[in-house]
Amino acid sequence: MPKTDTRLVAIDVGSAKVAVLIVERTEIDGEPGLKVVGAGRAPNRGTLKGHIVNVDATVKALRRATEEAEAMAGTEISRAYVGVGGSDVRSANSHGTAYIDNGDGGVTRADIDLVLNAARDVPLPPDREILQAIPQEFAVDDHGGIADPQRMLGSRLEAKVHLVMGHAPRTRTLVRCLNQAGVEATEVVFEPLATAQAVLLRDERELGVLMLEIGSGTCGFAFFHQSEVQHSGVLPFGASHFTADLASVLRTSFAGAETLKLRHGSCLPGLVDGDQGVAVPSVGGGASRTIARARLAEILQARAEEMFHLVQVELEKAGCAEQLRGGIVLSGGGSKLAGLPELAQQFFSCDARYGVPLGFTSEIHQGLADPTWSTAAGLVRYAVAMEQARSPLVRQGRARGMRGMVGSLRQMFSDLL
Split at pLDDT 50, 70, 90, the class of 285 is confident
Question: Is pLDDT of 184 > 70?
Answer: yes
Instruction: Please tell me the distance from the alpha carbon of residue 359 to that of residue 393, in angstroms, as a whole number.
Output: 24
Could you say which of 166, 197, 218 is where a domain stops? Answer: 166
Give the pLDDT confidence score for residue 414 in this predicted structure. Answer: 42
- 374 lies in some domain: no
- 110 lies in some domain: yes
Of 299 and 412, the structure prediction assigns the larger pLDDT to 299
CATH of the domain at 116: 3.30.1490.110
Question: Is pLDDT of 396 > 60?
Answer: no
- 269 lies in some domain: yes
Of 306 and 392, the structure prediction assigns the larger pLDDT to 306
Q: Is 406 left (phi over 0), alpha (psi -120 to 50) or beta?
A: beta
Quote the domain boundaries for residue 97. 90-166
Residue 278 and residue 264 in contact, taking contact as beta carbons nearer than 8 Å: yes
Give the pLDDT confidence score for residue 121 in this predicted structure. Answer: 93
Give the pLDDT confidence score for residue 399 in this predicted structure. Answer: 34
Least confident of 3-17, 116-130, 146-160, 178-192: 3-17
- 147 lies in some domain: yes
Give the pLDDT confidence score for residue 417 in this predicted structure. Answer: 37
- 370 lies in some domain: no
Split at pLDDT 50, 70, 90, the class of 45 is very high
Query: What does the pLDDT average to over 209-226?
Result: 95
The count of other CB atoms within 10 Å of the CB of residue 371 is 23
- 354 lies in some domain: no
**Is residue 79 classed as helix, strand or coil in its secondary structure?**
strand
Q: Which residues of 235-265 are buried (b: 16+ CB within 10 A; e: fewer)?
A: bbbbbbbbbebbbeebebeeebbbbbbeebb
Could you say which of 281, 301, 321 is where a domain stops? Answer: 301
Residues pairing with 43 in the sheet: 17
Q: What is the pLDDT of residues 78-88, one digit of tens each?
A: 999 999 988 88
Could you say which of 122, 146, 166 is where a domain stops? Answer: 166
- 314 lies in some domain: no
CATH of the domain at 285: 3.90.640.10
Q: What is the pLDDT of residues 115-135, one digit of tens each?
A: 999 999 999 999 999 999 999
- 275 lies in some domain: yes
Question: Is pLDDT of 394 > 50?
Answer: no
Q: What is the pLDDT of residues 344-369, one digit of tens each?
A: 999 999 999 999 998 888 776 666 78
Provide the percentage of residues in the chain whose pLDDT is more than 90. Answer: 73
Residue 156 and residue 149 in contact, taking contact as beta carbons nearer than 8 Å: no
Domains: count for the chain: 2
* Pairing relationship of beta strands 327-331 and 209-214 according to DSSP bridges: parallel
Distances (CA, A) of 349 to 15, 168, 223: 30, 38, 16
Return the ∠ at Cα 79 (arms to 77 and 82), rounded to 5°.
110
Residue 417 and residue 381 in contact, taking contact as beta carbons nearer than 8 Å: no
Give the pLDDT confidence score for residue 361 in this predicted structure. Answer: 84
Give the pLDDT confidence score for residue 412 in this predicted structure. Answer: 46
